[in-house]
Amino acid sequence: MLIPSSLLAYLPSPSTNGVNVGPVRLHLYGLIIALGIIAAVWLAQRRWDAMGGRAGTMATLAVWGVPGGLVGARLYSVVTSWQADTGGHWYRAFEIWQGGLGIWGGVVGGIATGLYGAHRYRLPFRPLVDAVAPAFAIGQAVGRWGNYFNQELYGRPSSLPWAVKIDHPVHCSSVTRCVAYPPGVTTFQPTFLYESIWDLIVVGLVIWVERRYRIKRGYLIAAYAAFYTFGRFWTEYDRVDEAHRWLGLRLNDWTSIVVFTVSLAVLLLWGRARPGDDRAGAILPAWAGGGSPVAAGDPGSEGTAGSGEAGSGAATGTPEGGRPPDASAPTPGGAARPSEG
């Protein structure tokens, strides 16, 4: 049976951005963000498990990291796009279901509060950051579909078969100057889809870099930032929604350029593991992973003779920084940390 060509002319937008459950309305944008968080926690935990970490660690740390990430993402968006996000009304800053979450505020806020949680549980910072580096990208890949249900963050007009149909499209030359497209212009580049696909590619690239090259523990996040911003520059450049502009580029284009340059420099200058350095993805020492063994003589793991920074502490049963674990400190599982034998 042949499918009429008109059915493949564009990607239709949904007729609603929420569902009603009794008296409660659930916004699909928020639900999809939640699914993205679940996907990120899942991948981070799988990577933590592979390092020998304790089950449930990432879900526990998410209790700290997720609120910080949401607050940071909203603050970044509101500060950089106050008029677009709030219309000048302060109370609308809390309407996150309407969209308006800035990734860089989310990354900074999530890492900051997540690492505070790690400090409370006496977990090592650097391997945790390595574990979540590709998890950020998979969370973004899922979360971008929230923009689809809000009919936002689309690109220039397009007649491609996968162009997305927008009910009330506008194009903006700044944060406050927006005009409607003519009635016949209804399909646009689905930049949310392009970024979602690129984010999935970033997941694979970050894991590939970790396995292919000798990356120092704690620096894999720089690979994520460099790969992500490389693709984000192009999707951002094609967008037509509200944004501050300088020299013909949108604010987040300039942010992408700066973050890409700094991340690549950090990775190349300081991120390459040298003999004696602990590598990203290596097995954790027993105190850090919640009981995982460290193979004696494994040059890729912490705790070996002659290893640097974290490894030298692990060799004597002490965490990074040389301080022994507190036997009474709570573990992510909720039980008291067992004393060292």
The residues pairing with 188 across neighbouring beta strands, listed in sequence order, are 157, 164
| Main-chain phi, psi angles of 188, to 5 degrees | -140, 165
265's CB contacts (< 8 A; 6+ apart) are: none
- Write the DSSP symbol of residue 6: G
pLDDT of residue 304: 37
The angle that helices 125-143 and 220-238 make with each other, rounded to 10 degrees, is 20
How many folded domains does the chain comprise? 1
DSSP state of 314: H
328 located within any domain: no
Judge whether 217 and 252 are in contact, CB under 8 Å.
Answer: no
Buried b (16+ CB within 10 A) or exposed e, 269-285: eebebeeebbbbbbbbb
Three-state secondary-structure class, residue 16: coil
Q: Indicate whether 334 belongs to any domain.
A: no
pTM score: 0.76
169 occurs within a structural domain: yes
Tens place of pLDDT per residue across the chain (341 aa): 444 544 557 888 888 877 888 888 888 888 998 999 999 999 999 999 999 999 999 999 999 888 888 888 888 777 776 666 666 667 677 766 666 677 777 788 888 888 888 888 889 999 999 999 999 999 999 999 988 998 888 899 999 999 999 988 888 877 667 888 988 898 999 999 999 999 999 999 999 999 999 999 999 999 999 999 999 999 999 988 877 788 888 888 999 999 999 999 999 999 999 998 999 989 988 766 554 333 333 333 333 333 334 443 433 334 443 344 443 344 444 444 333 34
In DSSP terms, 246 is beta-bridged to 249
In a domain? residue 6: no
Q: What does the block give as tokens for 267?
A: 């990775």
Domain presence at residue 323: no
In a domain, 200, yes or no: yes
Helices (H), 8-144: 28-50, 57-80, 82-86, 103-120, 125-143
In a domain, 307, yes or no: no
41 part of a folded domain: yes
β-bridge mates for residue 336, sequence order: 330
Phi–psi pair at 108, nearest 5 degrees = -65, -45
Amino acid at 24: V
Residue 238 is part of which domain span? Answer: 24-281
Distance CA 101, CA 107 (A): 11
